[in-house]
Structure 1
Amino acid sequence: MDKSTQEYSKSLKIKHFKPDEVPWRRIGQYRYRVVEDGTNTQFRMSVIESLLPPHSEGPIFHFHEMHDEGFYVEKGTVRFHCPGRPNIDVKAGEMVVVPIRLSHKFSNPFDEEAVFINTATPGFFIRYFEYLEELVGEGTQLTPEINRKALLRFATVPLTAEDVQRIEEENKRVD
Structure 2
Amino acid sequence: MDQKHKQYVETLHIGHVRPEDIPWRRLGQYLYRILEDGSQTQMRLCMIESLIPPRSDGPVFHFHEMHDEGFIVTKGKIRFHTPGAPPIDAKAGDIITVPIRLPHKFSNPFDEEGVFINTITPGFFVRYFEYLEQLIGEGTKLTTEANIAALKRFATVPLDEDTIMNLIEESKANGDDGVDIDI
Scaled to the shorter chain, the TM-score interval is over 0.9
Hey, what's the Cα distance between the residues in 2 that align with 1:145 and 1:139?
13
Hey, what's the Cα distance between the residues in 1 that align with 2:122 and 2:11?
21
Q: Which residue of 1 aligns with 2:62?
A: 62
Hey, what's the Cα distance between the residues in 2 that align with 1:161 and 1:40?
39
Q: Which residue of 1 aligns with 2:131?
A: 131
Three-state SS of the structure 1 residue aligned to 2:56 is coil
Q: TM-score, normalised by structure 1?
A: 0.98
Hey, what's the Cα distance between the residues in 2 that align with 1:153 and 1:13?
31
Three-state SS of the structure 2 residue aligned to 1:70 is strand
1:117 maps to a residue whose letter is I
Three-state SS of the structure 1 residue aligned to 2:146 is helix
Cα shift at 1:38: 0.5
Q: Which residue of 2 aligns with 1:146?
A: 146
Cα shift at 1:21: 1.1
Q: Which residue of 2 aligns with 1:157?
A: 157
2:26 maps to a residue whose letter is R
Hey, what's the Cα distance between the residues in 1 that align with 2:107 and 2:89?
10
2:21 maps to a residue whose letter is E
Q: Does 1:46 align with 2:35?
A: no
Hey, what's the Cα distance between the residues in 2 that align with 1:82 and 1:131?
25
1:27 maps to a residue whose letter is L
Q: Which residue of 2 aligns with 1:120?
A: 120
Q: Which residue of 2 aligns with 1:5?
A: 5
Cα shift at 1:135: 0.3
Hey, what's the Cα distance between the residues in 2 that align with 1:136 and 1:89?
28
Q: Deviations over 1:27-74 (max 9, x none)?
A: 000000001001110000110000000000010000000000000000
Q: TM-score, normalised by structure 2?
A: 0.94
Cα shift at 1:14: 1.1
Hey, what's the Cα distance between the residues in 1 that align with 2:76 and 2:20?
20
Three-state SS of the structure 2 residue aligned to 1:83 is coil
Q: How does 1:92-107 map to 2 (within 5 A)?
A: 92-107=92-107
What is the count of residue pairs matched by the alignment? 175
Three-state SS of the structure 1 residue aligned to 2:117 is strand
In structure 2, list runs of 5 or more residues that go unmatched: 176-183
In structure 1, list runs of 5 or more residues that go unmatched: none
2:8 maps to a residue whose letter is Y
